[in-house]
Structure 1
Amino acid sequence: MAVYKVLVMTGGMLLAGTTDHAFVTLVGTNGESERTELDNYGFEFCPNQTSTFPVNTQPLGRLLLIKLEIAQYLHLPESQWFCSKIVVETPEEEALLFPCHRWLTRGEVLELRGAKANKASDDEHPLLIEHRRREVVERTKLYQWKVYAEGLPHINHFERELPSELRFSLSKGLEFKLSKEIVIAELKLKGLFGSEESWENLESMKNTLTFKTSPIAEYLAEHWKDDAFYGYQFLNGVHPSMIRNCPDLPSNFPVTEEMVQPFLEAGTSLQQEIQKGNIFLCDYKSLEGLPTLVVEGKSLPLTAALCLLYLDTAGTLKPIAIQLGQEPSEKCPIFVPSDPELDWLLVKMFVKNADSIMHQIISHLLKTHLLAEVFAVATMRHFPDVHPLYKLLTPHLRYTLQINTAARDVLLGPTGLLSKSSPGVDGNNELMRRHLAETTYSSLCLPDNIAERGLQNIPNFYYRDDGLKLWTAINSFVRAMLGLYYPTDDEVSGDAELQRWIQDIFTKGFLGNSSSEMPESFITVEEVVKFVTMVIFTTSAQHAAVNSGQFDYNSWVPNNPLQLRKAPPTTKGLVTMETIMETLPNIGDTVNFIILSVVLHKKHTDSVVLGSYPEERFGEPAAKRIIENFQEELSSIEERIITRNASLEVPYCYLQPSEIENSVSI
């Protein structure tokens, strides 16, 4: 007889008292042990506890699988417990790691593979081949696709409840709910929540929240009208994704030299500045003709604005011309900074209204949340636990399915917070349809995106600088990791699970649109490295860039209004402060947008930051060293950002690695 020592590590919180009995079976190349009860006096599978159990059996040869199960004890209520991992010490004194990270329920039998990552071609033993096949078949049944709306990425569909390990922890769920309820309670006490009255003036909108603020939010409340800070936000605010260099003025934006000459430096011209690469454009043409929310029988305004910006020799970016529509006319004039002060303030607000819609619906919801959901469902459907890409990607997709399910209700439901934005639900969906049809693979890859927008050389672009450092670090990490399992291109083309994964993403996420240049299959290792880099960057860094600053830049609603009530000005010189207050959202809708900014920027106590892999899914020493190297590089990036920010009047912290979560989880 031989003695195997089974070390069981539990984690998480119990969902009920431990009243059932747990059993383990060891399966090796020479047979399997008897079903052995994990019976240790006084042990009740408490959270964060490790206990050791002996399993006496004939020598099993090479250990292949571990079976875990829970059986009913008497007629007591069912219990669940979370198994983090199991380490088996063999008679030869070898310690073998078996990752689990699952909740076990009564009647369920879990079969666990060892921590060594394997592709299907690496499995030779019939038991492992069959185990892999059954696991993938079961997952494709559990994780199914569902059409959310025509022309949009498919979403997850579960015939039964989402698996417990993919749901929020109890603490995260409570914090999420509590942060919202605390804000609502204060707003109700002040008589603001649900009010349909208009604000009296801009001053009355201040101090809406007594106990919630931030240094940047306070700075913004004082400087939001300044043209320099207005331009700065297109680079380093919560939405750095719209601005691009303007090598030629659009034919439908007839800005003349005479219009903008007073706002350029002496001795230069608009054409010269265009040739120097100092003229930039934000064009919101995709909003044109979009159906909008109907309030009191009237459709809310939404302008397909154009905003021209100039970068001076001091590195300051300022708006110099705005047209609130795609077709110039007497009723759609071009506004410039020398126009009446309130005219210029209001037209800038209309541009930011357009920008806010694009930020929330496209850059945030569609291009991080919904794409992350596609990546997550495809990963769960096609990779078994032992596949290297499952191990690599799971930490970056952990909460995606639950947060997206909640987001569709909280944000896009009939009474959702984004349903009160100018487009409303129907307009939001139509906007996403338009953009998904035009989304390209290169637009999701930051180095390509920056080059395509002509933003390689614009100074003081901290989103670009920090983002490219992170992209490079992630890319190096992914290349090193995948190099362990895909030493040649033949390994890529021969991995059927990998090919089914990318095909599913192409057809369900990008709807088979070949013009997107999204890969339909992989031929080379380099192709896989780039795509996986994009997935990790999108679900971590890019989401942080467009989410974490929401309270800083959106809690003062006039700066980034998601809704405006009156049509844009068509004649210069007629705007009054009363016009502006009638155009801004009413009190109730304003505080709803403030609630949105509070909830979406919340960082929870159980957050897992980029580069952290606490679940220890990789057992190979080489993989562990690569993770350590990645963490060291992230620490170096962190130090450089902190040093840079110390000299900035407005620091840019959203791509600081310690502030980036590993996955889309809020």
Structure 2
Amino acid sequence: MLNPLLQAQNHSPSFFFTSPLNPIIYPITIPKPRYTRSQSCLSRRREATLRALQVRCEAANEEAARSAVQAATATKSPAKVKVVVTVQSTVGTGLEKETIAGYAHKASQHCDKVKYEGEFSVPSTFGEVGAVLVENEHHKEMYLHDIVLTTAGDDATSLTIDCRSWVHSKFDNPEKRVFFTSKSYLPSQTPPGLERLRKKELANMRGDGTGERKPFERIYDYDTYNDLGDPDKGQDMARPVLGDSKEFPYPRRCRTGRPRTKKDPLSEERSSSVYVPRDEAFSEVKGLTFSAKAFKSVLHAVVPSIETAIIDTKLGFPYFTAIDSLFNEGVKLPKQEGLSFFRTVIPRVIKAFEDSTDNVLLFEAPEMIDRDKFAWFRDEEFSRQTLAGLNPFSIQLVTEFPFVSKLDPEVYGPAKSAITAELIEREILGVMTVEEALKKRRLFVLDYHDLLLPYVHKVRGLEDTTLYASRTVFFLTSDETLMPIAIELTRPASPTKPQWQQVFGRSWDATGAWLWRLAKAHLSAMHPIYRLLHPHFRYTMEINAMARESLINAGGVIESCFSPGKYSAELSAAAYGKLWRFDMEALPADLIRRGMAVEDPTAEHGLRLTINDYPFANDGLLIWSSIKEWVRDYVNRYYPTAADVTADHELQAWWEDVRTKGHADKKDEPWWPTVASPSELTQVLTTIIWVTSGHHAAVNFGQYHFGGYFPNRPTVARKNMPVEDMGGTSHEDFARFLRKPEAALLECFPSQIQATKVMSVLDVLSTHSPDEEYLGQEPEPAWAADAVVNAAFERFNGRMREIEGIIDARNADPKLKNRCGAGIVPYELLRPSSKPGVTGMGVPNSISI
């Protein structure tokens, strides 16, 4: 669980700059036409030309492109540019000198790209260019793509400075922007002439915890999650602050500085636009930001339209064929201005009949159901998905039996589990005892008991939802597949009722078989390190801001469609407090902690898996090892010794920020790794890159495949088990269940409005945008500029292509039953590349959806 702000702080100004080769900065001018030159300098100057100061106003359509270009060229005032260069000095102190101002004027425009050019003269004794200072004299911001410096004459040379950043108007902020060349430097290696600029840029991007942030700013600062509720709209919309408390520990978000609410001085006012540092926002100039438009479209237009179309919020599905109609008939949406546009943005979801103007919410059948319509109903598929499904991170080896809760029995009831050795041995047909199964590492568990139990009564106090604390036990068969053998559901003690718990085993009689199905439904820039991490945090802060605005907020999609309801975010805080450890985010450490692997220096990747056919772990370790090799090569390029690591004050300050600010509620935990050697730095960076790439891909891009047909992964259970408290209304519920068990299961499932809202969101969240950047696909300009780093990246790129072939071969191997077989969806979530759309494969660099 990486804090989105930390993901931005990973490329904070500490790591933003590159510096020149030579130690002295000397000014040059990019003058206006008919510029004047200092006569005393004419004899020792040579001509240089700024060939392309390009403003790329890329947009999704022609109208947007025209608007963007108009915004960038709205005034007659030119863009004012200063160039900072360095000279090699044989004497002196290498101090920075004054700059000379010059101008670049619009030279040409092609579609959405505008080019500015200017000419200026420099002394012949100048060395390599180190940086460019840019001042935007327009009244609106401009997107600066790159700067190309070309010298004139027979020995002409060219230098491209990659910018790809928004430059604010000087009327918003008089501070000039600095762009450094592509060579990376540690702080101790910064030429003296650039030290002031490096420190100043760093200071400009650090917040001081005061003031409301403005859209054009690039300030990174921290705050708690105090903007999910809206208490001024009523007590029902109030939510606790997550973070900075023992009760609700939480990572930090990006500070916005909005005013506090009137009714709760700890909560921040909500707004339609949430601040993120300017370059972290989805870029309007990138015409293919499909994900941003689709996500916004679903949250702001499609979901409200569903709420209008389906008036009865409690209406369920009367029969299973009614669920199928979502994929072949759809839901007719009310005519609404703007939905026709959304058909072009999310054509998979919003369709129009050719003979009418009606908008229809029509879903494509998820691949799992397309291959085998009844797969969701089978125990084998339920078990397989714990290893090769949407959440392969929760299954763990049983090492102690019987199960005992760590919660206070005076509050929640008896701590001992109702799952007994006799029950397990009966379910596995006596092939071995529980003790033998433990020794042979054959028992596994999904254990949400202690996490959910404190929230059961809270959730049951909400309308039309219920919750149980659950444990599910699996047995590993001889063919390396899991067999579910027991599900335990628990309701804690209350002032009026004792604890209720019951274990449901697989059953062949009619009543027991349907109770088993019901039980299953209740499961729940200059710095080289900046440049290494930069592509892994693209758009992450923006997607976090959008989620806080419309997805995880009070009354948002998560609260209205998932069992915990208004306690959803609060429950995530409980999980963070109980479970999250940075050191355990590393894939090998996570597998070992869960008992799914043991260290073995003779095995591939140094681990031996407890379940050999564990698709996520097998493919994940390929990705993890490749990332680690690439990071090790990169780190060793800049940090040959441990002394180099510990002496880097920017690096150490960044890691201190991660621990003490980004995760302030856990800052004193003893498990935080130190960053005192190249190997320790490699492990930390590999963990961060793994979480933003492989970990996220494994849990995100299969959401529609596995959750699009909601009976496979229902997000909410609306009815209690009919066998709970067999008296009063529960007796009536049980009698109704005996008459028609299918109806009882359908009543337990999400309502029509809940299902369609979640399906719409899952479809978009599972979608790769056309401009997706995949792991190991393209090098950053700074990497390509260094021969050693570029060679290491080429090896990484080749390894990603090799992994695709390995995964394809595994999915075709009939011996691997958890990923190959009749009607089984092949495990491709960690296949590195993908085409656009909902593909169930592809590992992007960053969490951008």
| TM-score, length of structure 2 as denominator length | 0.69
| Larger Rg computed on CA atoms | 2
SS in 1 for 2:149: strand
Q: Which amino acid aligns with 2:190?
A: D
Letter in 1 for 2:664: L
1:83 to 141, 144, 147: 144
Give matches, 1:298-447, under 5 Å.
298=463, 300-325=465-490, 331-338=500-507, 340-341=509-510, 343-351=512-520, 353-355=522-524, 385-420=525-560, 421-447=562-588
Per-residue deviation, 1:467: 0.6
- The 10-residue stretch of structure 1 (529-538 or 317-326) with the greater mean CA deviation from structure 2: 317-326
Look up the match of 2:636.
483
Aligned mates of 1:433, 1:346 — CA distance in 2: 30
Which stretch shows the higher mean deviation, 92-101 or 244-253?
Answer: 92-101
CA RMSD of aligned residues (A): 3.0
Structure 1 residue 476: deviation in Å? 0.6
What residue in structure 2 maps to residue 157 of structure 1?
Answer: 255
Per-residue CA shift, 1:304-351, capped at 9, x if unaligned? 111110111122211101110287999422211126456445555545
Letter matched to residue 552 of structure 2: L
Query: What does residue 190 of structure 2 align with?
Result: 123
Number of the residue aligned with 2:122: 57
Alpha carbons of 1:466 and 1:11: their partners in 2 closer, same or farther (altered >3 Å)?
farther
Question: Quick one: structure 1 residues 427 and 10, their matched pair in 2 at CA, closer, same or farther if it must change by over 3 Å?
Answer: closer
Indicate yes or no: 2:293 matched with 1:209. no
Take 2:567 and 2:162, find their aligned partners in 1: how far apart are those partners? 44
Distance verdict in 2 for CA 1:32–1:622, change over 3 Å:
farther
Question: Residues 142 and 167 of structure 2 are in contact (CA less than 8 Å); yes or no, is this contact kept in structure 1?
Answer: yes
| SS of residue matched to 1:6 | strand
Instruction: Confirm whether residue 577 of structure 1 aligns to residue 742 of structure 2.
Output: yes
C-alpha distance in structure 2 between counterparts of 1:466 and 1:604, whole Å: 23
1:72-221 pair list within 5 angstroms: 72=138, 78-90=139-151, 93-107=156-170, 109-125=176-192, 127-141=193-207, 142-148=219-225, 149-150=242-243, 151-159=249-257, 161-170=275-284, 171-172=288-289, 173-178=292-297, 191-192=309-310, 195-210=313-328, 211-219=363-371, 221=373
Conservation of the 8 A alpha-carbon contact between 2:376 and 2:712:
yes
Comparing 571-580 with 176-185, greater Cα deviation is found at 176-185
**Contact 1:143 1:157 survives alignment (8 Å):** yes
Q: Which residue of 2 aligns with 1:664?
A: 847
Residue in structure 1 matching 2:613, options 460, 474, 490: 460
Question: Is the contact made by 2:145 and 2:163 (CA closer than 8 Å) also made in structure 1?
Answer: yes
> Is this contact kept in 2: 1:475–1:533, CA < 8 A?
yes
Select between 258-267 and 97-106 the one with higher mean Cα deviation: 258-267
Indicate yes or no: 2:651 matched with 1:498: yes
8 Å CA contact 2:136, 2:142 repeated in 1? no
The 3 A distance-change label for structure 1 pair 309 and 493 is same
Distance 1:290 1:255, change over 3 A: closer
Per the alignment, in what secondary structure is the counterpart of residue 557 of structure 1?
coil
Distance 1:510 1:181 in 2: 31
Q: Structure 2 matches for 1:532-551, cutoff 5 A?
A: 532-551=685-704
CA pair 536-519 structure 1, distance change in 2 beyond 3 A: same
**SS across alignment from 2:664:** coil
Bigger drift between 251-260 and 97-106 goes to 251-260
Please tell me whether residue 448 in structure 1 is matched to residue 509 in structure 2. Answer: no
Q: 1:512 to 1:175 in 2, by over 3 A?
A: closer
1:471 matched to 2:640: no
Instruction: Pick closer, same or farther for the CA change 1:182–1:26 going to 2, 3 Å.
Output: closer
Residues 3 and 175 (structure 1), Cα distance of their counterparts in 2 relative to 1, 3 Å cut: farther
Query: RCO higher in 1 or 2 (8 Å CA, sep ≥ 6)?
Result: 1
Tell me how far apart the structure 2 counterparts of residues 157 and 620 of structure 1 sit (CA, whole Å). Answer: 36
2:379 and 2:484 in contact (8 A); partners too: yes
Query: Are the aligned partners of 2:295 and 2:765 in contact in 1 as well (CA < 8 Å)?
Result: no
More helix per residue: 1
- For residues 600-615 of structure 1, what are the structure 2 equivalents within 5 Å? 600-613=765-778, 615=780
Letter in 1 for 2:442: N
CA change 1:6–1:656 in 2 (3 A) is same
Partner of 1:70: 136
Aligned equivalents of 2:519, 2:117: Cα separation in 1: 65
Counterpart of 1:156 in structure 2: which amino acid?
C
The answer to whether the 8 Å contact 2:521/2:717 transfers is: no
Indicate which of 88, 99, 105 corresponds to 1:39.
Answer: 105
Specify the SS of the correspondent of 1:665. coil
3-state SS, counterpart of residue 445 of structure 2: strand
Contact kept? 1:34, 1:57, Cα under 8 Å: no
Question: Which stretch of structure 1 is more off in the superposition, 489-498 or 45-54?
Answer: 45-54
Give how far 1:483 is off: 1.0
Aligned residues of 1:466 and 1:641 also touching (Cα < 8 A) = yes
Of 263, 271, 284, the match for 2:435? 271
SS at match of 1:606: coil
Q: Alpha carbons of 1:651 and 1:535: their partners in 2 closer, same or farther (altered >3 Å)? A: same
Q: Which residue of 2 aligns with 1:360?
A: none
Which sections of structure 1, spanning at least 5 residues, go unmatched?
A: 73-77, 356-384
Equivalence for 1:237:
389
Q: Which moved more, 1:451-460 or 1:465-474?
A: 451-460
Aligned residues: 629
**Range 628-637 or range 205-214, more displaced:** 205-214
Aligned-residue sequence identity (percent) comes to 24
Measure, in 2, the Cα distance between the counterparts of 1:342 and 1:205: 24
* Residue identity in the other structure for 1:85: D
Q: Does the 8 A contact of 1:323 with 1:334 survive in 2?
A: yes
Q: Are 2:732 and 1:557 equivalent residues in the alignment? A: no
Task: Give distance in 1, aligned partners of 2:439 and 2:491.
Answer: 24
Are the counterparts in 2 of residues 293 and 424 from structure 1 also a CA contact under 8 Å?
no
Residue type at the aligned position of 1:88 = L
Secondary structure, in 3 states, of the residue corresponding to 2:455?
A: coil
Amino acid paired to 1:637: I
One-letter code aligned to 1:166: E
How far, CA to CA, are the matches of 1:186 and 1:341 in structure 2?
41
Change (3 A) 1:387 1:194: farther
84 and 612 in structure 1: CA distance in 2 versus 1, 3 angstrom threshold: farther
Structure 1 length-normalised TM: 0.87
Q: Please state how far the C-alpha of 1:639 moved relative to its aligned partner.
A: 1.3
Q: CA deviation at 1:122?
A: 0.7
Letter in 1 for 2:624: W
Map of 2:413 onto structure 1: none
Quote the Cα distance in structure 2 between the aligned partners of 1:208 and 1:306: 32
* Aligned equivalents of 1:267, 1:202: Cα separation in 2: 38
Residue 830 of structure 2 corresponds to residue 655 of structure 1: yes
The 3-state SS of whatever aligns with 2:178 is strand
Report the Cα offset of residue 33 of structure 1.
6.5
Mind listing any 5+ residue stretches in structure 2 that lack a counterpart? Answer: 1-44, 59-64, 88-96, 208-218, 226-241, 244-248, 258-273, 329-362, 405-415, 597-608, 727-733, 814-819, 834-841
Structure 1 pair 40–535 and aligned structure 2 pair: CA distance change class (3 A): same
1:305 aligned counterpart, secondary structure: strand
345-354 or 275-284, which deviates more:
345-354
Aligned partner letter, 1:322:
I
Work out whether 1:5 is the aligned partner of 2:49: yes
Checking the alignment, whether the CA contact within 8 Å between 2:314 and 2:752 is kept in structure 1 is: yes
